[in-house]
Structure 1
Amino acid sequence: MEEQLPTTFADKPTILLVDDEESILNSLRRLLRGQPYEVLLATSGEQALDIMAKQPVDLVMSDARMPNMDGATLLAHIHQRHPDTLRILLTGYADLTMIVKAINDGQIDRYISKPWHDEELLLTLRQSLAYQRSERERLHLVQETWEQNEELRLLNATLEKHVASRTAELQQTADMLDLAYEELKHSYVTGTEVFSLLANLRLPPAKQTNRQIIELVRVYCKLHGVDEGSTRDLTMAAALYNIGKLSWTDSMMTAPADLLHHNDQERYRGYPKQSESLLMTLDPMKDAARLILHHQERWDGTGFPDRLKGEAIPLGARWLKLAVDFIELQRGLILERQMNSDEALVYIRQYAGRLYDPDLVEDFIQVCAAYQSDVSLADPTVKVLTTRDLATGMILARNLNADNGMLLLNAGKVLSGPLVEKLIAFEAMEGAKYSVFVKVPEEVEAAILEAPLVVQAQP
């Protein structure tokens, strides 16, 4: 076989840290203290290559900017001499040329920006080494399978009993390969989530959405028993649905979609296609990329990019749109006003049959209730009323806030006639229109039904 395989797997991976600033090396060494790694340090590219000539190293993390030999050049040398070693570039500069050089010449596995986030850096190291170990084990199993097949070919003519025994062993090996492949696919999903979290760092915490959408998708898949492959595709789509927005300006990324100017609106409508284009070259992402491409289609055919209508929209894309809009409405990325969870669901219910698949909306509300504890709309006893529909004895199901965020009434408050009149007057004074979530006791509902209908004369 052409591939040279390791004969053993180190239980304690060796990591080489390279930086010309000893303070950076000391910070990284303190961060990795207590981790299951053997840590080596080098203050130059030349010293790093000398160390690697004397002992095996599993992963090199190098600073980009160093005198004599920069990080990209060092990682290119390491790729040529030690191709099995993982290569990570650590850079504190927004230097696209340096990153492109590292990718093209050093074929780096990842790059990390300085200053780094400790947990994210540790997670990156852990995921990279886990993938390396899985790949080594896979190659080891491939080698073992090839050797066993050679044995079987030589023994096939005369040793039928031995053939049967070896066949059983080969089946076991195939099962192990399947398990290794499943682990690799799981690592791929994890990698997309890690990348999505890094991409989200461009946004302030109050505008970040990917983690919440991923978790909401997982709740849906678990509650509905979605098969593993579809769950994986939908999860990766949730992680990377907005990767096409990374070229936007910071102000455009945080602005509500309905306030974008005409030119920005055109760019906004192009982001699903841009996201899909970035992912289509990755074979495991093809199905997820298709969901991303169509997650802004609308049930009535007015969406984008292809104006698909009704069931022509892939089911996963229909569900992803519900999840994306539910979270983005709460982050103020669709409308100017940030909604609470129930207001977002009222909006989604209002546009069922226009923006959303009407057969999915009520089920989606139940999934949101399982995911987010403050959802009260899933309770069939809760009604959403205007202030003029309120009546004495109704009970607030959730806090009522003014449009400016000021708390007006707490959940659990029993409404009285004077209180309702004050709410109506305050609403008129503010020029607002409140949606009030209330529970209606049976006796109050009966009294409303028995009350005579009063028709006011038109002026």
Structure 2
Amino acid sequence: MDGLFDLDLGPGETRRPSVLVVDDEPSILSALRRMFRKEDIDVFTAGSGAEALELLAGQPVDCVISDMRMPEMDGAQLLEQVRNLAPQTVRILLTGHADTASTIAAINRGQVSRYVHKPWNDNELVLVVREGLQTKWLAEERERLEELTRAQKEELTRLNAELEDRVKARTSELAQTNSFLELAHKDLRTTFLNAVRSFSTLIELRSPAIAGHGKRVADLARAMATKLGLSPSDQQDIVFGALLHDIGKIGMADADLEHSWAKLDLPARKRLQSHPHKGAAALMGLAELKNAATYIKAHHERWDGAGFPLGLAGEEVPVGARIIAICEDFDELQIGLLTGSKMTAAQAREVVLRGSDKRYDPKLIEIFEAVLDDPNWSSERGRFVGTEALRPGMVLGRDLHAASGVLLLAAGFKLDEPMIRQLREFELAEKKPLAVAVMDAQPLAQQSPAQQQQGQQMAQEQQQQ
């Protein structure tokens, strides 16, 4: 059971969970301490409610298990005070079968998480504690993600205000900057996307093998959703779901993430199968990600109904989840996460095609093939060129930022002559060259040596920024 109680408290901060056991009978305390001896968990004991409160004042814990009947301060009174001191602490009450009225009082006053009748079953009590700690972790993780989103929105709002003040103070020669700011800030979903991209890197920090996996899945999912003719809002929800499809793996043990699916034993596979539900639960408090959470929960369902967690089949599976399933497997086959050995893109494509009408929606497999065969689609997201090499019809392969960090144009924007002219005027006004990543760009062989050298230099500078 090693690792089952490990808590991941965010980047750079981990610790073992802790439990405080409170009972006026030393034999009960000894029994409970022995019960947790094999678990990766810190156990503290207290012989009375007053002693427990004194310990909590200097040593916060994740879970309190208290007996109901104790002199001076009973379990209901203690858990009520624990609730006031640390509302997030998991509260569990041990009661006798004759303590019904007291148990009801504890539920009403202390809002206990669970109550367990004495004598207890060790395995049952361990499971109760484990479920309580997992629920506590999910709530804390959701709050952390929401706080991160709020902080990034506030910072972007502050930067926007500063930039607008600078634009107003400039001469008419810089008036074109306003059009970029209006375009960049017209839709608040652009701001939210930046936060989502930050979330998508959290799981990738756990394993170098999956670096960039979420981005690649999202790129292919966006291309499929576009070719399918879905609305822009539906496309964006699918991209959010693709970027965050593995976020439920954040709290899992490293051993479960370091091996391919083919090399995992049955218990590890079952643990890994819980990540769609955990990922959806972590995002349930964010209204902007409601649809994405639905796709995350269902992205391991299958067209033939043999998937998980709900065994949905056919069009019962949301279309966004069906798209993400194809894109995820296509990328994981290439990086070796499914079979343990890496495949070429052509080999991975053949494996995915064989899953048509079984794992995948056959109509979406046709869309998948059409995207891969489309010469305008590229997983490389274009090459860097200078503004003098831009031509109408080119599509941005990456977000375009000014040297100050301000977003000028989002990835996927199709350039026309007026916008190219504005970019060149902005570049002259700022006196800093722009490096633009485009698809359908002028072939490198057709560029002059000066253009090639300038493009390489600007690419290096932009990557450093």
With the shorter chain as reference, the TM-score category is 0.3 to 0.5
Q: What TM-score comes out, normalization by structure 1 length? A: 0.43
**Which structure would you say has the larger Rg?**
1
Q: Report which structure shows greater RCO (CA 8 Å, sep ≥6).
A: 2
